[in-house]
Amino acid sequence: MKQGKYELGRMLGEGSFGKVKFARRVDTGEAFAVKILDRKRILDLKIDEQLKREIATLKLLKHPNVVRLHEVFASKERIYMVLEYVNGGELYDKIASKGRLSEQFGRNIFQQLIDGISYCHDKGVYHRDLKPENVLVDAMGKIKISDFGLSALSQQLWNDGLLHTTCGSPNYVAPEVLSNRGYDGAISDIWSCGVILYVILTGALPFDDRNLAVLYQKIFKGDTHIPSWLCPGAQNMLRRILDPNPRTRINVAEIKEDNWFKQNYTPVIPYDEEDMYMDDASLSVEELVETDELRNKSTLINAFQLIGMSSCFDLSGFFEKEDVSERKIRFTSNYSPNDVFKKIEDIVTEFGFQVQRGNGKLKVIQPTRGCTSTRSCGSLSVAAEVFELSPSLYVVELRKACGDSSLYRQLCSKISDKLSVYKGAQLLKMRSLLPELNQFEGSKSISTVKTI
């Protein structure tokens, strides 16, 4: 079945609010996992805010050990979240099939888990439902933390600096979460990581009982048996994490300094924050989102938005002007978005740059000598986006993510020389595009825009 630019295939999983299907992008052949949610069910259960929070959270997170959200779109009845496809399935299935994992492999999984969750905490995101079912493992043994439906952001902290919503899976939830007196989201996530480590190394749960009241009592007391056949380093790590007192429980920094943890440990580097393969448009669950191809589509803006893009309200100084931070340059062009991107590609490839393209944006990267990765070693990274003023006039915006400012300015100068229109003509054109402003302000002339 085709949905937008994706062909949907076999079922990967099913949950309370929808299902996850394997998908392949038609134009590139790339594999994805698409989470399909029933719009009516979400609104009926009044969990639309939870969904929006999950989407906003995933848009924040760009780390190799966190599942990536690539795009969100909707039909009248369904909401589609296009996620990174992980071909190895859940960590739970690996443990269930083998009973327990080797210490070396288990430690590597745990190291990646700590890397991913500490990155989330640095971003002010607390998962609150960590368990093997929510940790995906690919064929190479790389993990991806998934399912942020119960996550919390730092903005949700109460005045006491704590979270107060009781949530999570019973066997993995921290004792302080159950106490209803508030808890530190980062420290409670560490407890859940400790339970996962226990399950990885032993193949059993540290706290388990059919009676929930009895189970919670065991969790409150930290009542568990740590097998003596585990190596002393692993035993010590489990004891320090599964400490029922959150004040004395080991934290992320201390975990990373532990000798057992540091064996064969290589920290993971987060992705480039300016990664272009994410649709930055916010999603309102109540409104329809078109599923048209966005690859070469420009963003239509009106006069008020155009004025708001400028650091001051003087339109005469708006174009061909770099902002104070030297990170953003704009100019107008008569070329269509597709032609703009094509000409930029032609220009930058002559300079030895590489190009990534998607979702109406283009990213230019200059890799360092001898480096083949376009994610982590670029010496200059520039993003380009096109905004439509009218069917024949566009604003091209160039943004520097990182790198040498002088080289960036040279590149921008070359691009703007090739693409921009005559400045005097563009200002006349701009004045013709402001009827909304004149109507709103009555008899005010264009010159009064400076003092609004």
Q: Mind listing the pLDDT tens digit for each residue in 234-245?
A: 999 999 999 999
Query: pLDDT band at residue 441, thresholds of 50, 70 and 90?
Result: very low
Distance in angstroms (rounded) separating the CA atoms of residues 128 and 177: 9
Helix (H) or strand (E) holding 109: helix 103-122
Query: pLDDT band at residue 338, thresholds of 50, 70 and 90?
Result: confident
Mean per-residue pLDDT, 94-108: 91
Mean per-residue pLDDT, 44-60: 82
What's the token pair of residue 232? 């002393």
Check residues 377 and 327 and name the one with the higher pLDDT.
327
Distance in angstroms (rounded) separating the CA atoms of residues 375 and 391: 35
Inform me whether the pLDDT recorded for 31 exceeds 60.
yes
Inform me whether the pLDDT recorded for 209 exceeds 60.
yes
Q: What is the pLDDT of residue 319?
A: 40
The response to whether 35 counts as a known ligand-binding position is yes
Inform me whether the pLDDT recorded for 368 exceeds 50.
yes
Most confident listed range (41-55, 312-326, 366-380, 430-444): 41-55
Inform me whether the pLDDT recorded for 287 exceeds 70.
no
Which phi and psi angles does 364 have, rounded to 5°?
A: -110, 130
Query: pLDDT band at residue 23, thresholds of 50, 70 and 90?
Result: very high
Inform me whether the pLDDT recorded for 130 exceeds 90.
yes
Indicate if the alpha-carbon torsion angle 192, 195, 196, 197 is positive or negative: positive
Residue 129 bears catalytic tag: yes
Query: pLDDT band at residue 278, thresholds of 50, 70 and 90?
Result: very low
Q: What is the pLDDT of residue 288?
A: 33
Q: What is the pLDDT of residue 145?
A: 95
Domains and CATH numbers, the chain: 2-84 (3.30.200.20), 91-262 (1.10.510.10), 299-451 (3.30.310.80)
Whether residue 130 contacts residue 188, with contact meaning beta carbons closer than 8 Å, is answered with no
Kindly name the residue from 93, 122, 129, 189 that is annotated as catalytic. 129
Q: pLDDT over 70 for what percent of the chain?
A: 74
Whether residue 270 contacts residue 66, with contact meaning beta carbons closer than 8 Å, is answered with no
Mean per-residue pLDDT, 271-287: 48
> What DSSP character marks residue 181?
S
Strand partners, 90: 136
Inform me whether the pLDDT recorded for 257 exceeds 70.
yes
Check residues 155 and 122 and name the one with the higher pLDDT.
122
Inform me whether the pLDDT recorded for 444 exceeds 50.
no
Strand partners, 399: 328, 383
Query: pLDDT band at residue 421, thresholds of 50, 70 and 90?
Result: low
Q: What is the pLDDT of residue 113?
A: 97
Inform me whether the pLDDT recorded for 292 exceeds 50.
no
Q: pLDDT over 90 for what percent of the chain?
A: 36
Indicate if the alpha-carbon torsion angle 320, 392, 301, 294 is positive or negative: negative
Inform me whether the pLDDT recorded for 415 exceeds 50.
yes
Least confidently predicted of 34-48, 255-269, 301-315, 385-399? 301-315
Check residues 247 and 359 and name the one with the higher pLDDT.
247
Taking Cα atoms as reference points, which of 200, 199, 139, 213 lies closest to residue 170?
213
Tokens 């919503």 correspond to 165
